[in-house]
A and B are shown apart, each in its own frame.
Chain A
Amino acid sequence: MNPWIRLIIYLVAAPFVGGVLAGWDRRISARMQSRQGPPIFQPFYDVLKLCQKENVVVRRSQNYYIFFFLLLAIFTGGLFFGGADLLLVIFALTLAAIFFVLGAYKASSPYSFIGAERELIQMMAYEPMILLTAIGMYMVTKSFAVGDIASHPTLLVLMLPGIFLGFLYTLEIKFRKSPFDLSCSHHAHQELVRGITTEFSGRTLAMIEIAHWYENVFLLGWVYLFFASMPVLGVAVSLLVFVFIILVDNVFARLKWQTALKSAWLVALVFGFGNILVLSLLSAKPAIPAAPAASAVTQPAASGTVPAAAATPALNNAKVIARRN
């Protein structure tokens, strides 16, 4: 499929898919807690209602940051589904999150401040694993481009089982679900009021919701990437992962931020780095020539200008100097 078409489909369909997923989330969570739960389309009703509410702020400029958060969240997914460079996608994702955090700082309320700090800690927790995921994918497919990774014939998850597990762990953080709903929680047991979103209301809060929908679709798209060579399996696993995250959300209590940070880094180190280690040992033949190839690059400096290999170093150098001048 043409990347541009994919991009447009993403831009149009992602909020819808994301909203429905959020609806499912609430429904499934409710059932897990023996409740009836709201209708599937409840998230849309919420957002529509938020848009009609008054926009109350603490600091006049706080909402602009959120607007850019939404913009960049959409941009991130757009890059991903448009098949751009995976590292670039990660950077855009980070940038979006930074705007969100800065908005909360700008609001200058203690609760949003703590939420922002914790969100930052969470970012610090998941960032290494996400980078390692991209690197792992590169090592298998030899390309950072999402398009190339998606069309790679091997089932990536077979080569990257550790990285897949680590990525699942970071997804828990990224979805802001228990046990990692440190910065803002959708459960009622929240000692930080509403954490990072405390001081946002009305249309701005709706923007945050929509940004999350876009983000969630993008993240599940990344899960799909692990199974891209078998599309049906990929979609199934992505949905399964989503249900799994909901299950974890309902089963676990919230962790302390210290534990969250340490465990996430440990997972990145053990599963992520371990996987990369094994990969580079397995593919020792293609990987190690990278070093000699690099050194070979410099050899022409000496041998290219002086054909006689037996030339003395001094002569060798003299000629190089002469040529350079």
Chain B
Amino acid sequence: VILILTLILLPLAAGLVLLCLRPDLPRNILVSGVTLAVCCGTVFLATLPTPVDLSGLRLNPYWINLVMQFVEIGMSIFIIYVGARAKRPLIVALALAQAGLMVWFEVTQGEHLEVVQNLFVDKLSVIMALINGLVGGGICLYALGYMREYHQVAHRDVADRRPFFFALLFIFMGAMFGLIFANNLVWLFLFWEITTLCSFLLIGYTQTDEARRNALRALVMNLAGGLAFAVAIVWLHRQTGRIELQALIASKQSLVLLPAALLCFAGITKSAQLPFSSWLLGAMVAPTPVSALLHSSTMVKAGVYLVLRMAPAVTGTKVGMMVALVGAVTFVVGSLAAITSSEAKRVLAWSTVANLGLIVLCGGIGTYEAVWAGVLLIIFHAVAKCLLFLCVGVVEHKLHSRNIEDMSGLVVRMPRVAIMMQIGMAGMFLAPFGMLISKWAVLKAVVDAYPMLSVFIAFGSAATLFFWVKWMGKLVEVVGTCERIKKELVLGEAIALYGLSAATALACLLFPLISTYFIAPYVAEVYFQSAALPTGDIIGRGNTIIMIIMMAMVMLFPITFFNYGRGVRVTDAYLGGANLHSSTRFLGSASAVENVTMHNYYLRGILSEPWLSRWGVMGSTVLLAAMFLMAFL
């Protein structure tokens, strides 16, 4: 019990301390210490039986609620101030509506609210806590080295506000812990709003015009989700007289359909699904650790977490169908849009949007298979995507570019980073690694529930394949001679990257265990399906074994390199003319010296990103409107 509170409060407290800590050394020590503590805490939590017994928890609800209201009102005032200063009436209106609603609700109903349990910890919370603690902790360590280089070498023009930065990282982390352990929706809402605010401040960290604009966009969209959340709480209370997550899930579907739809909407905004995907793409302006944090362990994962929590409440309904459709459309549009981009972070961002679409799809379908696949997706996506972002961050500092075309020959220039990047990519799309296992399960779940939706997955995954492989190809291709860059990584970065690579590989190898000990019990608990799922495995035992054989086979690939360069004669590439000295130049027609350049295909003649997002936004807006309509009827 103490552990849970510590996990929430320690990062928050650390954040406040960091805010006033200017020198590097104490900050490094504090950040490392807290990260270590949080990691140990989450791992220990994972060993506890769930649901964790919280009956020993005696909190004085009066004081806590008072503090919470105080924080909430403070945040609203701050947001209104921000909105007013930026001359964004929409922000002010949304914040006012939300704050007004919550204050009114708490003043009129506050006395009668009976909450049996404010916190709740089950397997899903534990999984999320592990992701948040380990992946988020890794990002904090990485940020130590990265931000020093960011301010001292790469971006001297940006004001050094590192105390503020690290404070926000930890507050973010603490809020995320609160979010996943909260059962009282009012509490959950508070943490939800803290993450919104933190992401706003972090995206705007560099304070350039672009950063400010994108931060405000993120704020508007997430406030819209927050308003939906607030309405959901009030409506749920009116319908059932309760404001607990577990109560909502356990209620009759017809009774809670509207709150569930509203919460799904909130989740969709936070996880940057289609009409709202632009905020996540805009968030790239922030330093890399922020992107990694937003994309992998916190923020967007909070959104899909909520959607997956709602899964039992919407499964089989038209609302669920619409949520699933939004996810499916997002998956296809995101994957196609990723093809057209040559900027590494943008590709990653679109791929995050697409993968979250898959998770939302799972939540919308809401059968036990789908939820199983969704949770697995969350795990694999968090680890692999974080690894990729952090690798791109390192590469960006060394090569001063995040264009994929410039990463040609990276395997020679920065072998360690390139290999880790490939591990991350393999984890993202390649059979038999992580995401593919879950994609497979998603496909099965979809075919059983709504066969029509499978067409989205078929097209989307084909596009996914294309943009990942061409990126991988760019990394391994070596034209001419490349210098190896010295000192690829500093300590914190190295710990984070090696740790995450190991985590990606382990998560892939050990996924049957993860499934058996974490996901299957959760799904069984929610759906009472334990008897039907002896191993809790959607894929089946035989197939799992084949997968592991395949995985072992692919992992043998590096061994072939022991034979490196033996029994072959090395020659220049064929260039269609007389080669000059090497494979980089040749004598073309009329004895002109031509340079060799190779560029990937981006299919921009067929696909255009603005076109895709415009139609995607329109389509998904219609779907969301239909969702609300169906929830009302």
By a beta-carbon cutoff of 8 Å, the part of chain A in contact with chain B is: 54-61, 63-64, 67-68, 71-72, 75, 79, 84-85, 87-88, 91-92, 94-95, 98, 101-102, 104-113, 116-117, 120-121, 123-125, 127-129, 131-132, 135, 138-139, 144, 193, 198-199, 258, 261-262, 265, 268-269, 272-273, 276-277, 279-280, 287, 290-292, 294-298, 300-302, 304, 313-314, 316-318, 320-321, 324-325
Contacts and interface: CB of A to CB of B under 8 A. Distances in A.
A144 B440 CA distance: 11
B349 to A, nearest CB: 21
Which 9 pairs from chain A and chain B are nearest by CB? A295-B316, A109-B573, A105-B473, A91-B431, A127-B462, A320-B250, A64-B560, A60-B565, A131-B458
B49 to A, nearest CB: 13
Given A87-B440, A95-B431, A123-B462, A102 B244 contact: no
A55 B565 CA distance: 11
A95 B432 contact: yes
B247 A58 contact: no
A111 B246 CA distance: 60
Interface residues of B, number: 96
Contacts of B432: 91, 95
Contacts of B117: 321, 325
Interface stretch (B148-156, B291-299, B442-450): B442-450
A101 to B, nearest CB: 6
Given A61-B564, A193-B576, A301-B250, A108 B528 contact: no
Interface string B539-574: 010110011001001100100110111011111111
Contacts of A120: 465-466, 469-470, 473, 601
21 contacts: A56-B571, A58-B573, A60-B568, A63-B568, A64-B563, A75-B553, A88-B543, A98-B430, A105-B472, A106-B477, A112-B573, A129-B458, A131-B461, A290-B449, A290-B450, A294-B367, A297-B367, A302-B252, A314-B240, A321-B246, A321-B250
A296 B366 CA distance: 12
A108 B573 contact: yes
Contacts of B567: 55
B550 A110 contact: no
A121 B601 contact: yes
A280 B474 CA distance: 42
B401 interface: no
B574 A276 contact: no
Q: Could you tell me the dominant secondary structure of chain A's interface residues?
A: helix
Contact of B564 (A60, A265, A296, A321): A60
A125 B466 CA distance: 10
B457 interface: yes
B67 interface: no
Given A301-B249, A317-B250, A111 B574 contact: yes
A169 to B, nearest CB: 15
Nearest to B54: A325
B51 A110 contact: no
A106 B408 CA distance: 11
Nearest to A280: B451
Contacts, number: 260
A128 B459 contact: yes
A113 B597 CA distance: 10
Interface string B369-400: 00000000000000000000000000000000
B48 interface: no
Contacts of A84: 542-543, 546
B605 interface: yes
Nearest to B443: A87
Given A120-B469, A295-B315, A325-B51, A131 B576 contact: no
Contacts of B583: 58, 108-109
Contact of B474 (A64, A94, A105): A105
A268 B455 CA distance: 9
B240 A321 contact: no
Contacts of A325: 51, 53-55, 116-117
Contacts of A280: 451-452
Interface string B582-620: 010000000000001010110101100000000000000
A108 B477 contact: yes
Interface string B98-139: 000000000000000000110000000000000000000000
A324 B316 contact: no
B511 to A, nearest CB: 15
Contact of B473 (A101, A110, A111, A144): A101
Contacts of A135: 443, 447, 451, 454, 458
A304 B525 CA distance: 13
A79 B549 CA distance: 12
A193 B569 contact: no
B606 A258 contact: yes
Nearest to A132: B458
B569 A56 contact: yes
Contacts of B444: 87, 144
Nearest to A323: B250
Contacts of B249: 301
A297 B527 contact: yes
A193 B316 contact: no
A67 B567 CA distance: 15
Nearest to A57: B568
B513 interface: no
A159 B349 CA distance: 41
A101 B573 contact: no
Nearest to B573: A109
Contact of B576 (A111, A129, A297): A111
Which one of A63, A128, A198, A272 has the highest number of Cβ atoms from chain B below 10 Å of its Cβ? A128
Nearest to A108: B477
Nearest to B549: A75
Given A116-B473, A262-B606, A324-B51, A298 B253 contact: yes
Which one of B447, B564, B575, B601 has the highest number of Cβ atoms from chain A below 10 Å of its Cβ? B447
B447 A138 contact: yes
B317 interface: yes
A9 B87 CA distance: 74
A64 B557 contact: yes
B478 interface: yes
B476 A105 contact: yes
B466 A60 contact: no
A298 B366 CA distance: 10
B26 interface: no
A262 B474 CA distance: 25
A107 B547 CA distance: 29
B576 to A, nearest CB: 7
Contacts of B92: none
Given A57-B571, A108-B477, A292-B316, A320 B246 contact: yes
A64 B452 contact: no
Interface string B248-270: 01111101000000000000000
Contacts of A193: 574, 576
A268 B572 CA distance: 41
B512 interface: no
Contacts of B241: 313-314
B316 A294 contact: yes
B529 interface: yes
Given A295-B317, A321-B246, A92 B550 contact: yes
B436 interface: yes
A58 B454 contact: no
Contacts of B570: 56-58, 60
A321 to B, nearest CB: 5
A144 B571 CA distance: 47
B465 A123 contact: yes
B463 interface: yes
B346 interface: no
Nearest to A258: B606
B252 A313 contact: yes
A27 B605 CA distance: 40
Given A92-B431, A94-B465, A109-B583, 5 more contacts: A88-B547, A120-B465, A131-B461, A298-B315, A320-B246
